[in-house]
């Protein structure tokens, strides 16, 4: 088994990208409703922001 397989089976580690998406969608949807009166537009901004933040967090964890 490689080290990546062992890390994925640990269960205690969280994936930054997943957390970024999970938090970005509802926050973006709320911001979209408040500022743009368009839920879908907010989700697009929230999803892209969540992906960006998740990638940054994952890269910091690997250092």
For position 62, what pLDDT does the model report?
A: 80
Are 52 and 24 in contact, with CB atoms under 8 Å apart? no
Query: How far apart (Å, rounded) are the C-alpha atoms in residues 63 and 60?
Result: 6
| pTM of the predicted model as reported, rounded to 2 decimal places | 0.71
Query: How far apart (Å, rounded) are the C-alpha atoms in residues 61 and 14?
Result: 10
- Residue entry with tokens 């989700």: 43
**Nearest by Cα to 38 from 46, 29, 49:** 29
* Low-confidence residues in the chain, pLDDT < 50: 6
**Nearest by Cα to 31 from 51, 19, 45, 17:** 45
Taking the domains of the chain in order of start, what are their residue ranges? Answer: 30-63
């Amino acid at each position: 088994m490689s080290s990546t397989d062992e890390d994925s089976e640990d269960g205690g580690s969280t994936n930054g990208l997943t957390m970024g998406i999970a938090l970005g969608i509802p926050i973006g949807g709320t911001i979209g409703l408040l500022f743009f009166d368009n839920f879908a537009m907010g989700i697009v901004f929230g999803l892209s922001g969540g992906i960006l933040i998740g990638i940054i967090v994952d890269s910091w964890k690997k250092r």
